[in-house]
Amino acid sequence: MSGERQVTSGWLGELPGSLFDKGGPGRRGLTFPRWEGEPAPKLPASVLRAAPADFPAISEPEVMRHFTALSNLNHHIERGMYPLGSCTMKYNPRLNEQVAAMQGMADLHPEQDVADIQGLLGALMHLEKALCEITGFAGCSLVPAAGAHGEYLGMLVIRAWHESRGDTGRTEILIPDSAHGTNPASVAIMGMTPRQIASKADGRIDLEALKAAVGPKTAGIMITNPNTLGLFENDIVEVSRIVHEAGGRLYMDGANLNAILGKARPGDMGFDVVHMNLHKTFSTPHGGGGPGAGPICVAEDLVPFLPGPRIGKAADGTFTLERMPGVDDTAIHAYYGNVGVCLRALAYILRNGRNGLKRVTECAVLNANYLKHQLKDVIEVQHAEDCLHEFVATGAGWKRDFGVRTLDIAKRLLDYGVHAPTVYFPLIVEEAFMVEPTETESRESLDHFVAVMKRIREEAATDPDLLHGAPHHTPVGRMDEAKAARDPDLRWMGPCNC
Amino acid sequence: MPYVPHADEDIRQMLAVMGLDSIEQLFSHLPSNVRLGRDIDLPLGLSEEEVRNWFSCAASINHGTTELVSFLGGGVYDTVIPAVIDALVSRSEFLTAYTPYQPEVSQGTLQAIYEWQSFVCRLTGLAVANASMYDGATALAEACQVAVATKRKPLVVLPATLNPRWARVVRTSMRGAGIAVVEVPAGIAGTTDAAALESVLANAQAAAFVLPNPNYLGLVEPVAELSAVAKAAGAIVIAAVNPVSLTLLKSPAEYGAELCVGEAQPFGIPPTWGGPLLGFLSCTDEHKRRIPGRIVGRTTDSRGQDGYVLTLQTREQHIRREKATSNICSNQGLNMMRATIYLAMLGAGGLVELGEANRARIEALRKRAAAVPGVTLPYTGPVFNETVLRLPRPAREFRAFARKHGVLAGIPLDGVADCGPNDILVAVTEKRALYQIDQYAALLAEFAATGGKGK
C-alpha cells in the first residue's frame, strides 16, 4: 500500500502498563531530611485513618522509566506540526522556562511582605503595561488562570459597573452562535443569561439581528475577533456603537489575538474588556492541558472594578499591593493567579519587542494564507477571501465523494506524524476542519502538511476504509469512547505490589 | 526574529506563490478606522542573554524561601521537591503537548491523569476524582456549585475556620449565581462548634456544609460529629483538606464527605507567589456526572488494547455550552503531572513517614514555643503541621523582627475566627531541621523579652 510506506509515525516503545502494578515491597523513591528531635506524641486514634492509602512502592529509576515511557506516547510540538485551529500551538521557547524557574521567582511564598518581592512586582507591572499597550487599554488584571477564568472575571467587572450605576436590570449577554462554548458557560455561571444571536454564514455578526436583540436587558456582548472562522469583524465599530447606545459593554474573547498584534487593538475598536490566552499568543506551554493564564485588560472607566490587591507604585519608586475599595470582597483565585505563566509571557514579549510581535502576526497570517492557497485543490475552504491566522475548511465534499468524514481525515493525519486540526468546530460549518499553522512552522513544514493532505485525498479516493480505520501506526487505535462513558473506569482498582 | 523560521527571502517566495508582493496585502481588508497607524509602544526585541539578565536582576532583589527559612503556610507550603520532577516535566512530550483530545497520540498525558485520579481517590477514599482545578479555592467554589445543583437549595454554610482567601473565592462565586452563604462561628477550641452548626442548619435549608480539615488554624476538626450534624440536616459535606494530612488523618470518605477538594501544591510544586497551583476535586460515585473539569477513563481501542480517553464529556462546556456544569475548560496539566510523579516517588514507604515528619516538627515547635514566657498555645486540639501561637505583642511586629533574622515567621491571623492581632499561624514542614525550629524558639524568646528591640 503506497500510503503505508509513507507513514512517518516513528513511535517508540510499548504501552508501559500501570504505575500501580510496578515496584515491590520495601522499595523507596523519595526520602526526607533526617529528624534529630524527639518523636511526636501520638494523635488520638479517633482522628487517624484506619489504614494508610494503598500506594505502590517504587524506586527512583523505575519512576523515571515509567514516566519517560508515558511521555513517548504523546504527540508534541517538537515532534511535528500541531495545526489546531483556535489553539495557537506555537513553539514554546525554553528561555521562558528558565526565567520562571529562577530562584527568587519560583520560591516566593504568596504571604511574603512586599519588601521581599519587589523584583517580582516590578516584572508583573511591566507585563500589565505591555499587555495594556498591545490591547489599547488602561488597566490589567493578571489573576485569571485561564481564558474561561478571564471571561468570568470580565463578566464580574461588567456587572459591577452596571450595579455601580444602579442599573440592575441588565441580565443578558449577547453571544454570536459561532462562539466558543466557554462564552455562554461563563455567562451562565454568573447567573446571567446568554442570548444567542445568529451570525452570518461567515460567522460575522449580523447587524440587523444585533439591532433586534439589544435593549434594556442588555448587559453586554461577547465577541471573538478575529472570529472563530479566522475572519476580522469588519463592522466592529458599528457593533460597538449599537451595543453602547443600548447601554451595554463589549467583551472581546482574545483567543485569536495572534492575528492582530501590532496591527489593530481591541481598545481602539470599541471593546471595553479583552482576555488574552498567554498560552496561545504569548507562547507559554500548554502542558497537556494547563496551566495557562487568561489576564484581562479593561477600559479606563472599568479599572476601579478590577479586584485587588492590585500592583501600584509609591512615590519613592517601590511597588505596592493595593486594595480596591469597591470590590474588596471579590476574588476569583486564592492568590494572584498563575504568576509563573505570566513571567514566561513577559520573557516572550521582551524577547520579541515591538518589531518581533508584529513579525509574529505577519508570519502567522502569511502561513495560514499560504497553506489555504496550497490546499485549495485538496479540501474546500470556507470564506476563502480574507482569512487571517487560521481558516476553516469543510470535509463535506470528501464525505459526498468518498464517504469519508472529517474525523477520518483527522485520524489519518496522525499516521503521518501530523496532529489533527480542530474538527467539528465552529458548529456553524458542516464537517468543519479548522487549521491554524502559527508563525513558528517553516515553509517546508507547511509544504509537508500539503503533501500529506494530498496523499490522504488519494487514499480516500482509492481506499476509503484505510481512513475509516485510521490511525494504524499510533501507539493505540481508535478508542471505544462509548464504553468509557457507559461504564466509567476512572481509577485503578487493583492492590499494589507492596 | 527570535522564534519565526522565515527569512525575508522565504517570505518573498511564499507571497509570490500566492501572487502577492507584500505581507501588508494580507491585512488590507482590515477596516482603516481600526488599524493601528503606528508601532506599538514597546522597546525593540532583546537577545536571549539580555532577557535572562533582565530576569536575573529582578529575581536577585527578591528574597525567596531558598534564601530565607520559611514557616509560612496557610495553603501553600515549603516542601521537598525531588529532582526527577523537573527532569520529567521539562520533556517536550509533556511540556508542549495540547489537551489530550486525540487519544491515539496522547496516551502519555491521559494515563498520567488516570494515575493522578487513582492517587487522589486512594488518599480521599472517594470513588471519583477529576484531572485537577486551578487551585484549592476555586475547586471548593466548584464543589459548592455541585452541591447546590444536586440539592436544589441555594444556600451554603461555611465555617469561620475556613481559609479566608478560599471563603472570599467561594462567596464571589456564590454571589454571582445568586446562592446565599451563611457562616457558622468557631467555638473556644478553635474548631467548629457542633451545636452552633446544628442551630444554623435548623434555620436554613442548606445544600452544603464545608468542612475544612485541618482547618485554617491548623486544628483537626471534630469531623465525625460535624459531618453527622450536617447530614442529619440534609446538607452535603464538602471536605476541604490539606492532602498531605491524608497520609495520617481520617480520609473524607471515612467521615461521610461526598465531595472533597484541596490544594495539592505541597506535592512537588514550587510556590511561585501563589500560582500556578493545583486544586483537586474528588467525589462519591453518585456525583460523577455533575462535577466540573476533565475526567479520564480507561477503555479499549480498536486493536483490543487497554487505553485511556477523556470521558463523561457531556458535562462540559464544549458540548453543553450554557447548560454545562461549569465554564472550566482546562486543568493544571503540568502541575498535575508534577504531583503524580511526586506521589509515585513518595510511594507506600514514604507516605506515613511524610506525615510523621510533619507531625514531629510541628510538635517540637509547639513544645518549644509554649516554654517561652509570654507565648501561649491558645488551642490545644490535635494539629497536623500548622499551629497558632499567641504572642505577647502584635504578630506583625514579630514577623518583622524574625524577618530581620532571615526567618519568615508566619501569617498574622487578626480577624480570622476568634483570633486577635497577637495571633500568628506557623507552618512546619518536613523540610525544617531541628536547629531551625530551635532558632525560631530563640527568636520568640528574644521578641517576648525585648519586643524585638533588644538587638
Indicate the residue among B309, B341, B373 that finishes a domain: B341
What is residue B322's predicted lDDT score, i.e. its pLDDT? 75
Instruction: Using a CB–CB cutoff of 8 Å, tell me whether B371 touches chain A.
Output: no
Residues across chain B: 455
Q: Are residues B257 and B226 in the same domain?
A: yes
Asked whether residue B4 is assigned to any structural domain, the reply reads no
Residue B196 lies in a domain: yes
Q: Same structural domain for residues B297 and B398?
A: no
The residue out of B317, B341, B365 marking a domain boundary is: B341
Q: Do B218 and B258 belong together in one domain?
A: yes
Residue boundaries of the structural domains of chain A: 95-350, 354-483
Give the burial class of A12: count Cβ atoms within 10 A of its Cβ; 0-12 exposed, 13-18 middle, 19 or more buried.
exposed
Burial of A377 by CB count in 10 Å (0-12 exposed, 13-18 middle, 19+ buried)?
Answer: exposed
Tell me which of B145, B244, B327, B377 to substitute to probe the interface with A (most A C-beta atoms closer than 10 Å): B327
A31 interfaces chain B, CB cutoff of 8 Å:
yes
Q: Mean pLDDT check: name the lowest of A53-57, A121-125, A199-203, B177-181.
A: A199-203
- How buried is B435 (Cβ within 10 angstroms: 0-12 exposed, 13-18 middle, 19+ buried)? exposed
- Give me the helix-helix angle, B194-202 and B223-232, nearest 10°: 10
Best interface-test mutation with B: which of A8, A333, A373 has the largest number of B CBs within 10 A?
Answer: A333
Most B-contacting residue of A67, A177, A251, A481 (CB-CB within 10 A), to test interface: A67
Q: Is B322 on the interface with A (CB under 8 A)?
A: yes
Partners of B54 on chain A (C-beta within 8 Å) are: 350
Position A412 pLDDT exceeds 80: yes
CB of B18 within 8 Å of a chain A CB? The answer is yes
Query: Does some domain include residue B24?
Result: no
Query: Which residue of B46, B111, B350 is in closest CB contact with A28?
Result: B350
**What CATH number does residue B257 fall under?**
3.40.640.10
Decide if B112 touches A, using CB distance below 8 A.
Answer: yes
Smallest Cα distance from A339 to chain B, Å: 5
Residue-wise pLDDT tens digits, A442-487? 999 999 999 999 999 999 999 999 999 999 999 999 999 999 999 9
Profile chain B (455 residues) by mean pLDDT over runs of 10 residues: 94 97 95 95 98 98 98 98 98 96 96 98 98 97 96 96 98 93 96 96 94 98 98 98 98 98 98 98 96 95 95 78 78 96 97 97 98 97 98 97 98 95 98 98 97 65
B330 and B380 inside one domain? no
Q: Is the pLDDT of residue A328 over 90?
A: no
Residue B382 included in any domain:
yes
Task: Read off the C-alpha cell for A490.
Answer: 476512572
Q: Are residues B435 and B315 in the same domain?
A: no
A12 band by pLDDT with thresholds 50, 70 and 90 = low
User: Tell me, what's the pLDDT at B36?
Assistant: 95
Residues of B in contact with A116 (CB under 8 A): 62-64, 68, 403
Using the Cα atoms of residue A367, residue A372, residue A378 and residue A379 in order, give the sign of their dihedral: positive
Kindly indicate the confidence band of residue A6, based on its pLDDT and cuts at 50, 70 and 90: low
Give the pLDDT score at A1.
37
Say yes or no: B331 and B360 in one domain: no
Inform me whether the C-beta atom of residue A246 falls under 8 Å from chain B C-beta atoms: no
Residue A230's alpha-carbon distances to A129, A224, A281, in angstroms, are 27, 10, 14
> What pLDDT was estimated at residue B454?
52
pLDDT of residue A8: 57
- Same-domain pairing of B73 and B95: no
- Considering chain A, what percentage of its residues have pLDDT values greater than 70? 97
Answer yes or no: do B131 and A289 touch at CB < 8 A.
Answer: yes
Q: How far is A162 from chain B (nearest CA, A)?
A: 14
Question: Which of A112, A235, A409 is best to mutate for the B interface (most B CBs within 10 A)?
Answer: A112
pLDDT score, position A9: 59
- 8-state DSSP, B88: H
Q: Which residues, listed in sequence order, are joined to residue A340 by a DSSP beta bridge?
A: none
**Structural domain ending residue among the three candidates B341, B371, B405:** B341
pLDDT for the residue B162: 98
> CB atoms < 10 A from the CB of A33, how many?
13
Give yes or no for a contact between A62 and A23, defined as CB atoms under 8 angstroms apart.
yes
Given an 8 Å threshold on Cβ–Cβ distance, is A57 in contact with B349? yes
Q: What percent of chain A has pLDDT over 90?
A: 87
Nearest by CB to B48, from A84, A95, A292: name it. A95
Closest chain A C-alpha to B166 CA, distance in angstroms: 6
pLDDT confidence bin for A5, thresholds 50/70/90: very low
The alpha carbon of residue B314 and the mean position of all alpha carbons in its chain are separated, in whole angstroms, by 26
How distant is the Cα of A49 from the closest Cα of chain B, in angstroms? Answer: 4
Architecture of domain A95-350: 3-Layer(aba) Sandwich (3.40)
Integer Cα distance of A65 and A19 in angstroms: 10
The answer to whether residues B386 and B245 belong to one domain is: no
Give residue A289's identity as a one-letter amino acid code.
Answer: G
pLDDT, tens digit (0-9, with 9 covering 90-100), for A398-407: 999 999 999 9
List the single residue in A with minimal CA-CA distance to B91.
Answer: A71
The answer to whether the Cβ–Cβ distance between B335 and A353 falls below 8 Å is: no
User: How many distinct structural domains can be found in chain B?
Assistant: 2
Whether B335 and B417 share a structural domain: no
Which of residues 168 through 227 in chain B touch A, CB cutoff 8 A? 168-169, 171-173, 176-178, 220, 223-224
- Are residues A443 and B14, on separate chains, in Cβ contact within 8 Å? yes
Check if A43 contacts B (Cβ < 8 Å).
yes
Chain A contact set for B297 (CB, 8 A): 484-485, 488-490
A384 reaches B (C-beta below 8 A): no
CB atoms inside a 10 Å sphere around CB A401: 12
CB < 8 Å to A79, chain B = 92-93
Residue A186's alpha-carbon distances to A183, A258, A414, B224, B372, in angstroms, are 5, 23, 33, 36, 52
pLDDT of residue A3: 43
- B90 touching A, CB under 8 A? yes
Residue in B with minimal Cα distance to A99: B55
* 3-class secondary structure, B246: helix
Banded pLDDT at A95 (limits 50, 70, 90): very high
Contact B348 A263 (CB under 8 A): no
Q: Nearest CA to CA, how far is B2 from chain A (Å)?
A: 7
- pLDDT value of position B261: 98
Chain B positions in Cβ-Cβ contact with residue A77 (cut-off 8 Å):
92, 96-97
The residues that bridge with B129 in the sheet, in sequence order, are B282
Q: Look at residue B321 and tell me if it is in a domain.
A: yes
Query: Chain B partners of A72 at a C-beta cutoff of 8 Å?
Result: 93, 108
Other beta carbons within 10 Å of A487: 10
Pair (B282, B168) in one structural domain: yes
CATH for A354-483?
3.90.1150.10
Q: CB-based contact (8 Å) between A236 and chain B?
A: yes
Q: Are A478 and B308 in contact (CB under 8 A)?
A: no
| CB spacing of B1 vs A146 below 8 angstroms | no
Q: Chain B, 386-425: which have a CB under 8 Å from a chain A CB?
A: 399, 403, 408, 411
Q: Are residues B326 and B366 in the same domain?
A: no
* B208: containing domain: 83-341
Among B57, B65, B105, B326, the strongest candidate for a mutation testing the A interface, having the largest count of A CBs within 10 A, is: B105
Pick from B228, B337, B58, B230: nearest CA to A106: B58
Residue B139 within a domain: yes
Q: Give the gap in angstroms from C-alpha B171 to the nearest C-alpha of chain A.
A: 8
Distance in angstroms (rounded) separating the CA atoms of residues A217 and A194: 11
Asked if B91 and B73 sit in the same domain, the reply is no
- CB of A359 within 8 Å of any CB in chain B? yes
Annotate chain A with three-state secondary structure: CHHHHHCCCCCCCCCCCCHHHCCCCCCCCCCCCCCCCCCCCCCCHHHECCCCCCCCCCCHHHHHHHHHHHHCCECCCCCCCCCECCCCCCCCCHHHHHHHCCCCCCCCCCCCCHHHHHHHHHHHHHHHHHHHHHHCCCEEECCCCCHHHHHHHHHHHHHHHHHHCCCCCCCEEEEECCCCCHHHHHHHHCCCEEEEECECCCCCECHHHHHHHCCCCEEEEEEECCCCCCCCCCCHHHHHHHHHHCCCEEEEEECCHHHCCCCECHHHHCCCEEEECCCCCCCCCCCCCCCCCCCEEECHHHHHHCCCCEEEECCCCCEEEECCHHHCCCCCCCCCCCHHHHHHHHHHHHHHHHHHHHHHHHHHHHHHHHHHHHCCCCCEECCCCCCCCCEEEECHHHHHHHCCCHHHHHHHHHHCCCCCCEECCCCCCCCEEEECCCCCCCHHHHHHHHHHHHHHHHHHHHCHHHHHCCCCCCCCCCECHHHHHHCCCCCCCCCCCC
Residues 124-163 in B contacting A (C-alpha not used; CB under 8 Å): 125, 127-129, 131-132, 134-138, 145, 163
Residue A28: pLDDT band by 50, 70, 90 thresholds?
very high
Mutation target among A8, A21, A32 for the B interface, most CBs of B within 10 A: A32
CB contact under 8 A, B58 and A119: yes
This prediction has a pTM of 0.97
Contacts of A23 in chain B (CB under 8 A): 347
Output the nine-digit C-alpha cell for A107: 520560591
Which residue in the set A29, A184, A264 is minimally distant from B344, CB to CB? A29
In chain A, residues with a C-beta closer than 8 Å to the C-beta of B13 are 443
Contacts of B138 in chain A (CB under 8 A): 145, 149, 332-334
A475 and B105 in contact by Cβ < 8 A? yes
Among left, alpha and beta (phi > 0; psi -120 to 50; other), residue B43 is beta
From A265's Cα to the closest Cα of chain B, the distance in A is 7
